[in-house]
Amino acid sequence: MVQVSIGVRNLEAVQAELAKLAGPQARQAYAKALNDTGFQVRRQMQAEMARVFDRPTPYVLKSSFVQQATPNKLSVRIAPENQRDSPGVDPQKILQAQEFGGRRRDKRSEVALRRAGILPSGYQTSIPRVPYPGSDDGRGNLRGAFMVQLISYFQASPEQGYSANMSDKRKRAIHTGNKRTTGRRYFVSYGRLRGHHLAPGIWAASGTGGVDVKPVVMFVRVGTYKPRLSMERIAQGADVQNYLDKRVRFRIREAAGV
């Protein structure tokens, strides 16, 4: 979390203008300056995430929220928040792991697969080095709609937000395919855990007799992040105090009509 509190300096240049303002007007100017600074820090935070993360999703990049200052509350808070009331992982928790390191939290899909007995304990999911055709979003993640289909296919969608478990009729349609997609069957391998010859994960078999076998989702040991995102570095990059001082002087002159 980044929080900027009022700590204005170097007001000598605007003392005359400041003297013209009533208390509420000055506090309004301070609040506007703090909010200007908050959005500057937000821009710096987004730039830092784009720099240190590999193809970050718009969901994470846009998660930084500015809780704005008011004349009665002269502080501004900038922090990742779930503004869409999304059922996915809270971006605050995602970024805390990136700032301080530690175990990656389970994705919602991983919780569903584990509850269904498909994903083994101590494992999480990973996209294959060569993504299954039509499965990835171009940022190293599975497309949400594709994962929903997998969850539904394996009758593993008890959680709110997922579509109903797939009917036998729908499964047969996937097995048969159509003009746009090749028919395929999904199956689970547990590798050496259960004497299977394929690596642990969800696989797809297509072609005559199912001879074309490709990985769809791999099961990997629980991931641990190393610290990569520094809120202190973000604040330094935004030059918070100097920027705040400049914006206060500008907002005071603006309020005084100079």
Give the pLDDT of residue 17. Answer: 81
Give the pLDDT of residue 203. Answer: 96
Neighbouring-strand partners of residue 103: 224
Neighbouring-strand partners of residue 188: 202
Distance, in Å, from the CA atom of 241 to the CA atom of 115, rounded to the nearest integer, reads 49
Distance, in Å, from the CA atom of 250 to the CA atom of 33, rounded to the nearest integer, reads 8
Distance, in Å, from the CA atom of 118 to the CA atom of 193, rounded to the nearest integer, reads 13
Is 31 exposed, middle or buried (CB count within 10 Å of its CB: 0-12, 13-18, 19+)? buried
Give the pLDDT of residue 205. Answer: 94
CB atoms within 10 A of CB 50: 12
Report which residue type is found at 108: R
Mean pLDDT in order along the chain per 10 residues (258 residues): 59 76 88 92 85 74 84 85 55 56 76 90 90 85 86 77 72 86 90 85 88 93 69 77 88 86
Give the pLDDT of residue 8. Answer: 62
